[in-house]
Amino acid sequence: MHLAYPAVLAALLFCTGLYGVLARRNAILVLMSVELMLNAVNLNLVAFDVWLSRAAEETLHSGQALTLFTIAIAAAEIGIGLAIVLAVYRARGTSDIDRLRDTAEGHETDTSETGPGTEKAEATA
């Protein structure tokens, strides 16, 4: 099998995951897109490991070992990420990333509008 087939498939998976991270507003869908990107990286690691082991006649499979490490890290990341999303959902009532950002920035914009300059404008009116 040629190296181009898994490399193209991994590139398509990575681009799909990148689009999901950039375009989605739901935090759970963003986490799923990150997992899709990690799976594309794992596919590349295994494909290049097989290709390099055939070319060099080696028995050391470091790409596959790194893939297992990446899978373990991804499992821990999704567990912690889902716990954070559930805690934020319980506290705020939404998992929409744009609304969470607006509520965090809303406190800063409210305090800047009620500065000393606004009191003078209200007193003259």
Q: Identify the CATH number of the domain in which residue 88 sits.
A: 1.10.287.3510
pTM over 0.85: no
* Residue 79 lies inside a defined structural domain of this protein: yes
Residue 14 lies in a domain: yes
Domain count of the chain?
1
Q: Which of 82, 16, 4, 78 is nearest to 48 (CA)?
A: 4
Long-range CB pairs of 68-74 (<8 Å, 24+ gap) are: 70/38, 70/41, 70/42, 70/45, 71/42, 74/35, 74/38
Regions of the chain with pLDDT less than 70: 58, 102-125
Q: Is residue 73 one of the residues assigned to a domain?
A: yes
**Is residue 123 included in any domain, yes or no?**
no
Q: Residues with Cβ < 8 Å from 3, sequence gap 6 or more?
A: 47, 48, 51
The answer to whether residue 124 sits within a structural domain is: no
